[in-house]
């Protein structure tokens, strides 16, 4: 799960390659590396750690590269060491190769090559690709590459250079995205795992399909089929403004993105609420009203935080639009019998639009003739190309690995979608106007939650000493609890488990004790009293309780050790203020524990392997 960038140009490409890799670091930041060709040598530089290290050392690197391939790694096979960092070289040191994906049969190929006396240096699956290409190489690099790739089982996007071919990069892909681009004005050829790394450029761009292979030289790009026939690929214009990554004075991107939410939530609904709060419409939406009216089921697939948005949408669509919804973890959905037909709708939710599990599940669903609606934040993503229709959540670039504003924008869009579907289905007693007016009040309520930061900071100091937490809620607040527990785990490395509060007595309550605090979400009118009873059961077991609620009561103050009071909204929207409060809590606890908040250990912003 890594990022690949490469280019050929008339000028020295080293700096451009580093800049490209920086924009791909969201795909992994365990190590980085660049290989290139000088007039007479192969240049190779790799290191564990983040690409910023290379920038620091750049002043000492005096080298002119007319072409380069680079890589930023999220370790799958082998520890994040210098040796395991890409690019990898063959035993003759003639080829350097970078890879994104996983080779499932690497062990078998490795054993075969070892039996031919080929010596391996790394623990990676990638090294078998480069060694296999050299093994097959007999004066025709593209044929040898194709022969080697045909032996691989798994997924890959690769790029390679050879010391005897000073003007060419070979690239290929299978189930891993790879964009190929030409900058005609600058006579520059580029490749990237994600076209967003081309931001600020004016290009013609195409994407490699499975098993295609590209031969990129300083003069032209030839793309061949699996049988090495030259293809006539269509290129599209890509002209996108550079997005500057800027913390705007905040200590971390995460905090900046938390504070953007009054605006990003507004952007998610802006222009989509029409006729004085009577109607919802989405731009460029191409699923027919007739089809939506007669839907059987909806399957929503996603991973991680986006899965929590899917679960919220399940509760909401069932409540408002009276349609049966299955919220599915994408990686699990692919492993079971799919009972989906062309009368159903599949919705894929993804911030990045590049998550491998979500993409693979989406591709699988295509075989069942079901329409796929993608809910995406990032434009130009693979998911937007796979879907029948899409709705952008418009949260803007999210740099912190820990998702905050993208989540609340996904929630906002799914809220609009549920209302849209309910009105198409002409559901009785649907108060569209009230639901939409309440949504419009949310940005100012989020501003009020953000003003609670000083109180939350003090509570974070108190609770940061604990090593395990329960997060509890019911109904929509169960989803808030799941998301809050994930935030805490990923940035503070504290074990946190979320449960529907009613489930606790069926096992987990055995863990309740004075060093196992409970964070309870009570901003759901419908489940308030039941939550209080559950909290009584916990109090009887001496667990510290921090309640996050919007309704004041003597009961809650008697039961909980601490209470954060949030602005009140309707149950259907209560997840928004609750999530923002829990994002702040996770942030300040992580800060107390001095973790790497924006780039937590072992994670990557975009998970591009299964």
Query: What residues pair up with 238 in beta bridges, in sequence order?
Result: 203
Catalytic residue (choose from 146, 256, 591, 605): 605
Separation of alpha carbons 341 and 365, rounded Å = 9
Separation of alpha carbons 267 and 117, rounded Å = 60
Catalytic residue (choose from 2, 17, 303, 402): 2
DSSP state of 527: G
Position of tokens 């072992």?
A: 602
Q: Which stretch binds ligand F6R (CB under 6 A): 10-18, 300-308, 311-319, 451-459?
A: 300-308
Separation of alpha carbons 584 and 591, rounded Å = 10
Supply the minimum distance, in Å, between the C-beta of residue 403 and ligand F6R.
3
Q: Is 592 helix (H, G, I), strand (E, B) or coil?
A: helix
Supply the minimum distance, in Å, between the C-beta of residue 478 and ligand F6R.
17
Which is closer to ligand F6R, CB of 84 or CB of 583? 583
Q: Which stretch binds ligand F6R (CB under 6 A): 45-53, 174-182, 298-306, 431-439?
A: 298-306
Supply the minimum distance, in Å, between the C-beta of residue 249 and ligand F6R.
23
Given a contact cutoff of 8 angstroms between Cβ atoms, the answer to whether 371 and 388 are in contact is yes
Any catalytic annotation for residue 220? no
Position of tokens 């010596």?
A: 119
Size of the site for ligand F6R (CB under 6 A): 15
Edge-to-edge strand ranges of the sheet holding 371-376: 324-329, 297-302, 345-350, 371-376, 389-392
Q: Which of 20, 70, 262, 304 binds ligand F6R (CB under 6 A)?
A: 304
Reduced 3-state DSSP string for 186-234? CCEEEEECCHHHHCCCEEEEEECCCCCEEEEECCCEEEECCCCCECCCC
Position of tokens 């499932």?
A: 104
Which is closer to ligand F6R, CB of 113 or CB of 359? 359
Separation of alpha carbons 588 and 584, rounded Å = 6
* Tokens representing residue 145 in the block: 């590459």
Q: Which of 126, 206, 355, 371 binds ligand F6R (CB under 6 A)?
A: 355
Bridging pattern class, strands 273-274 and 236-239: unpaired
Position of tokens 């009020």?
A: 448
Supply the minimum distance, in Å, between the C-beta of residue 334 and ligand F6R.
14
Q: Which of 160, 532, 607, 609 binds ligand F6R (CB under 6 A)?
A: 607
Bridging pattern class, strands 42-48 and 468-473: unpaired
* DSSP states of 100-154: EEEETTHHHHHHHHHHTTPPP--S-SHHHHHHHHHHH-SS-HHHHHHHHHHT--E
Q: Which stretch binds ligand F6R (CB under 6 A): 67-75, 159-167, 349-357, 426-434?
A: 349-357
CA–chain centroid gap for 104, Å, is 23
Q: Which stretch binds ligand F6R (CB under 6 A): 109-117, 238-246, 345-353, 447-455?
A: 345-353
Peptide bond between residue 309 and the one before it cis (omega within 30 degrees of 0): no
In sequence order, which residues have a C-beta less than 8 Å from that of residue 321 and are 6 or more positions away?
418, 421, 422, 425, 427
Supply the minimum distance, in Å, between the C-beta of residue 536 and ligand F6R.
32
Given a contact cutoff of 8 angstroms between Cβ atoms, the answer to whether 448 and 576 are in contact is no
Q: Which of 155, 350, 362, 432 binds ligand F6R (CB under 6 A)?
A: 350
Q: Which of 145, 371, 403, 408 binds ligand F6R (CB under 6 A)?
A: 403
Supply the minimum distance, in Å, between the C-beta of residue 333 and ligand F6R.
14
Q: How many other β-carbons are positioned within 10 Å of the β-carbon of residue 315?
A: 19
* Tokens representing residue 391 in the block: 């709705």
Q: Per-residue x/- marks for ligand F6R, 233-272, CB under 6 A?
A: ----------------------------------------
* Tokens representing residue 228 in the block: 């090495």
Which is closer to ligand F6R, CB of 3 or CB of 544? 3
Q: What are phi and psi of 400, to 5 degrees?
A: -65, 135
Q: Which of 94, 168, 172, 305 binds ligand F6R (CB under 6 A)?
A: 305
Q: Which of 131, 206, 358, 475 binds ligand F6R (CB under 6 A)?
A: 358
Supply the minimum distance, in Å, between the C-beta of residue 607 and ligand F6R.
5
Supply the minimum distance, in Å, between the C-beta of residue 378 and ligand F6R.
8
Question: In what helix (H) or strand (E) does residue 528 lie, and over which residues does it extend?
Answer: helix 528-539
> Which residue's beta carbon is nearest to the bound ligand F6R?
304
Supply the minimum distance, in Å, between the C-beta of residue 483 and ligand F6R.
8
Supply the minimum distance, in Å, between the C-beta of residue 359 and ligand F6R.
9
* Among 124, 35, 444, 459, residue whose Cα is nearest residue 262: 444
Any catalytic annotation for residue 2? yes
Query: What residues pair up with 305 in beta bridges, in sequence order?
Result: none
Q: Which stretch binds ligand F6R (CB under 6 A): 17-25, 92-100, 245-253, 346-354?
A: 346-354
In sequence order, which residues have a C-beta less than 8 Å from that of residue 26 and are 6 or more positions away?
3, 352, 399, 401, 604, 605, 606
Q: Per-residue x/- marks for ligand F6R, 479-518, CB under 6 A?
A: -------x---x----------------------------
Binding to ligand F6R by residue 408, rule CB under 6 A? no
Q: Which of 214, 303, 453, 488 binds ligand F6R (CB under 6 A)?
A: 303
Binding to ligand F6R by residue 402, rule CB under 6 A? yes
Supply the minimum distance, in Å, between the C-beta of residue 213 and ligand F6R.
28
Binding to ligand F6R by residue 306, rule CB under 6 A? yes
Please list every residue from 20 through 39 that binds ligand F6R, using CB under 6 A.
none
Which is closer to ligand F6R, CB of 427 or CB of 603? 603
Which is closer to ligand F6R, CB of 323 or CB of 350? 350
Query: What residues pair up with 95 in beta bridges, in sequence order?
Result: 162
Helices (H) and strands (E) in the chain, counts: 19, 26
Binding to ligand F6R by residue 382, rule CB under 6 A? no
Reduced 3-state DSSP string for 295-307? CCEEEEEECHHHH
Q: Which of 196, 352, 362, 574 binds ligand F6R (CB under 6 A)?
A: 352
Q: Which stretch binds ligand F6R (CB under 6 A): 127-135, 206-214, 260-268, 299-307?
A: 299-307
Position of tokens 């808030």?
A: 480
Please list every residue from 185 through 244 that binds ligand F6R, using CB under 6 A.
none
Which is closer to ligand F6R, CB of 356 or CB of 442? 356
Q: Which of 261, 351, 409, 583 binds ligand F6R (CB under 6 A)?
A: 351
Contact set with ligand F6R (CB under 6 A): 303-306, 350-352, 355, 358, 402-403, 486, 490, 606-607
Catalytic positions: 2, 605
């Amino acid at each position: 799960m890594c990022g690949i960038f490469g280019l050929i140009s008339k000028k020295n490409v080293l700096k451009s390659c580093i800049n490209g890799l920086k924009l791909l670091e969201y795909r992994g930041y365990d190590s980085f590396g660049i290989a290139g060709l000088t007039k007479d040598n192969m240049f190779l530089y790799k290191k564990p750690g983040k690409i910023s290290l290379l920038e620091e050392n750049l002043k000492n690197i005096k080298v002119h590269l007319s072409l380069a391939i680079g890589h930023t790694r999220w370790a799958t096979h082998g520890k994040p060491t210098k040796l395991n960092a890409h690019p990898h070289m063959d035993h003759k040191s003639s080829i350097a190769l970078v890879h994104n994906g996983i080779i499932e049969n690497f062990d078998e190929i490795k054993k075969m090559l070892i039996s031919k006396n080929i010596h391996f240096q790394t623990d990676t699956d990638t090294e078998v690709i480069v060694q296999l290409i050299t093994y097959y190489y007999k004066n025709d690099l593209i044929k040898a590459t194709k022969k080697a790739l045909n032996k691989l089982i798994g997924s890959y996007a690769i790029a390679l250079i050879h010391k005897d071919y000073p003007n060419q990069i070979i690239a290929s892909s299978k189930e891993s995205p790879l964009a190929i681009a030409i900058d005609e004005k600058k006579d520059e050829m580029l490749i990237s795992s994600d076209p967003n790394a081309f931001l600020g450029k004016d290009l013609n761009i195409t994407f490699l399909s499975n098993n295609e292979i590209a031969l990129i030289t300083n003069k032209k790009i030839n793309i061949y089929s699996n049988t090495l026939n030259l293809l006539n690929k269509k290129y599209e214009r890509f002209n996108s403004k550079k997005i500057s990554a800027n913390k705007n004075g905040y200590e971390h991107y995460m905090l900046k993105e938390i504070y953007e939410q009054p605006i990003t939530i507004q952007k998610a609904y802006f222009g989509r609420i029409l006729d004085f709060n009577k109607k919802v419409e989405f731009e460029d939406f191409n699923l027919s009203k007739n089809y939506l009216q007669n839907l059987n089921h909806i399957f929503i697939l996603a991973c991680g935080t986006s899965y929590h948005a899917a679960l919220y949408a399940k509760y909401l669509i069932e409540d408002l639009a009276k349609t049966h919804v299955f919220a599915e973890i994408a990686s699990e959905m692919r492993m079971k019998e799919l009972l989906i037909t062309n009368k159903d709708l599949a919705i894929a939710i993804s911030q990045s639009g590049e998550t491998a599990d979500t993409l693979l599940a989406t591709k699988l669903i295509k075989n069942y003739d079901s329409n796929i609606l993608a809910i995406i934040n990032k434009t130009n993503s693979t998911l937007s190309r796979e879907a029948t229709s899409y709705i952008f959540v418009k949260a803007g670039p999210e740099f912190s690995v820990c998702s905050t504003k993208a989540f609340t924008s996904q929630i906002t869009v799914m809220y609009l979608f549920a209302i849209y579907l309910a009105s198409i289905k002409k559901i009785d007693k649907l108060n569209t106007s009230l639901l939409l007016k309440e949504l419009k009040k949310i940005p100012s309520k989020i501003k009020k939650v953000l003003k609670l930061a000083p109180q939350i900071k003090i509570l974070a100091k108190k609770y940061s000493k604990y090593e395990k937490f329960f997060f509890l809620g019911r109904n929509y607040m169960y989803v808030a609890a799941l998301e809050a527990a994930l935030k805490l785990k990923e940035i503070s490395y504290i074990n946190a488990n979320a449960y529907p509060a009613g489930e606790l007595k069926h096992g987990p309550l055995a863990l309740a004790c004075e060093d196992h605090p409970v964070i309870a979400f009570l901003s759901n009118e419908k489940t308030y009293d039941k939550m209080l009873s559950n909290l009584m059961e916990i109090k009887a077991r001496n667990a510290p309780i921090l309640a996050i609620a919007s309704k004041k009561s003597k009961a809650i103050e008697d039961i909980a050790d601490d209470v954060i009071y949030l602005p009140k909204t309707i149950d259907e929207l209560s997840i928004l203020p609750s999530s923002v409060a829990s994002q702040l809590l996770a942030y300040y606890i992580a800060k107390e524990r001095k973790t790497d908040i924006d780039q937590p250990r072992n994670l990557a912003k975009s998970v591009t392997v299964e």
